[in-house]
């Protein structure tokens, strides 16, 4: 099916850290989007030196039930055309994108527990999946391991804690690879967490999103433990 063009207005902008921002869009035409939790949309963000269109994909961070107001989550990459364009948007501005698309979406597999692993803004599609699962009452155990650098990069603490306290089947660990003094939480990358805490992959479906190195390393760790479906979205 060809991708659909959506026109939208920015209805909310929220800074979550020094370089991470949420942008909520209100769809104008068509007025709603049907997508699977985890899929992405693409923006034309400028033209390169050869006058070719520059396109950048962004996951929808809100759940499919939020059909009229998709949420984006992104970090600023200095000099990067995609993030610079999206960071330039203000409330009331109009924008357009194409989509939805992507094979990284939440599967309906009632026999498997779920492991989510993200680095940095790789949390975006997993957030969509988490809220989709929350709407279904987390029928199976779901674990999230999320890797960030340091305290100044932390966000979504309150909403992940709220999800975990509302749903005993959901638990999460945020780990910092370069914590400053005073951090009492988990330290290091997500890979050793997966290595140490996942005893068996036999009844697991795994979703990995973030940087290429993490996806490669975590996949290798999981594959040493056995066979299970591993769905992956490489951001960079
Ligand atoms: C399917 C898909 C979905 C994506 N969804 C999101 C999303 O929801 N949120 C999001 O922030 N990004 C997302 N990305 C990455 C996004 O498309 C852009 O690559 C990113 O915003 C950088 O684009 P840019 O034009 O600003 O910088 P560029 O000039 O294209 O990038 C410069 C360099 O920045 C690094 N980089 C790329 N992406 C990131 C990033 N996210 N964080 C840190 N460094 C990066 C890379 O090393 C890259 O070579 C997604 C990528 C893919 C493939
Ligand atoms: N966030 C910042 O404060 C900051 C500062 C300066 C520049 N930048 C630049 O901004 C971009 C994005 O930075 P980011 O921090 O948002 O994302 P990032 O560089 O992808 O780091 C996010 C997390 O992923 C971890 N990671 C990296 N490689 C991994 C691997 N192979 N396996 C498992 N985990 C891995 C990082 O650990 P490690 O810390 O061990 O790499 C970090 O905890 C990068 O290009 C970076 O150079 C960011």
Give residue-wise pLDDT tens across range 162-204.
999 999 999 999 999 999 999 999 999 999 999 999 999 999 9
Domain with CATH 2.40.30.10 in the chain: 4-101
Name the residue with the closest Cα to ligand 1, atom 27: 80
Residues 113-234, CATH architecture? 3-Layer(aba) Sandwich (3.40)
In whole angstroms, what is the distance from residue 7 CA to residue 27 CA?
A: 6
Q: What does DSSP assign to residue 91?
A: T
Domain with CATH 3.40.50.80 in the chain: 113-234
Residue 47 pLDDT: 95
Name the residue with the closest Cα to ligand 1, atom 9: 74
Residue 2 pLDDT: 76
In the chain, which residues have pLDDT < 70?
1
Nearest ligand, CA 208: 2
Taking the CA of residue 82 as reference, the ligand 1 atom at the shortest distance is 25
Residues 4-101, CATH architecture? Beta Barrel (2.40)
Residue 1 pLDDT: 66
Tell me phi and psi for residue 135, to 5 degrees.
-65, -25
CB 97 within 8 A of CB 57: no
Nearest ligand, CA 234: 1
Site to substitute for ligand 2 among 189, 193, 218, 221, most atoms within 8 A of C-beta: 189
For 75, the enclosing helix (H) or strand (E) is: strand 71-75
Instruction: Find the radius of gyration of the CA atoms of the chain.
Output: 18
C-alpha separations of 46 from 6, 56, 83 in Å: 17, 10, 11
Which position has the token pair 């940095």? 120
Number of H helices, E strands in the chain: 5, 12
In whole angstroms, what is the distance from residue 90 CA to residue 231 CA?
A: 34
C-alpha separations of 66 from 25, 36, 76, 226 in Å: 11, 11, 25, 36
Does ligand 1 have an atom closer than 6 angstroms to the CB of 62?
Answer: no
Q: Determine the distance separating the centroid of ligand 2 and the alpha carbon of 161, expressed in angstroms.
A: 23
Name the residue with the closest Cα to ligand 2, atom 11: 77
Q: Determine the distance separating the centroid of ligand 1 and the alpha carbon of 235, expressed in angstroms.
A: 6
Does ligand 1 have an atom closer than 6 angstroms to the CB of 103?
Answer: no
Residue 153 pLDDT: 98
Q: Determine the distance separating the centroid of ligand 2 and the alpha carbon of 149, expressed in angstroms.
A: 6
Q: Which two tokens stand for residue 171?
A: 């638990």
Taking the CA of residue 121 as reference, the ligand 2 atom at the shortest distance is 16
């Amino acid at each position: 099916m060809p991708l659909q063009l959506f026109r939208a207005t920015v209805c909310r902008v929220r800074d979550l850290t020094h370089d991470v921002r949420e942008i909520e869009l209100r769809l104008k035409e068509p007025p709603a989007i049907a997508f699977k939790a985890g899929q992405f949309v693409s923006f034309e963000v400028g033209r390169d030196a050869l006058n070719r269109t520059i396109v950048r994909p962004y996951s929808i961070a809100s759940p499919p039930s939020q059909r009229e107001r998709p949420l984006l989550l992104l970090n600023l990459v200095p000099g990067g055309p995609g993030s610079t364009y999206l960071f330039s948007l203000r409330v009331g501005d109009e924008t357009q994108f194409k989509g939805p698309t992507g094979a990284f979406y939440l599967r309906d597999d009632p026999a498997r527990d779920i492991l989510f692993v993200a680095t940095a803004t790789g949390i975006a599609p997993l957030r969509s999946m988490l809220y989709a699962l929350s709407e279904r009452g987390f029928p199976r155990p779901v674990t999230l391991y999320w890797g960030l650098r340091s305290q100044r990069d932390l966000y979504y603490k309150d909403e992940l804690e709220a999800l975990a306290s509302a749903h005993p089947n959901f638990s999460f660990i945020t780990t910092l690879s370069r914590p400053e003094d005073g951090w009492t939480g988990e330290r290091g990358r997500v890979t050793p967490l997966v290595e140490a805490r996942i005893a068996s992959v036999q009844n697991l479906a795994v979703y990995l999103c973030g940087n290429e190195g993490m996806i490669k390393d975590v996949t290798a760790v999981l594959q040493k433990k056995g066979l299970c479906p591993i769905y992956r979205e490489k951001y960079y």
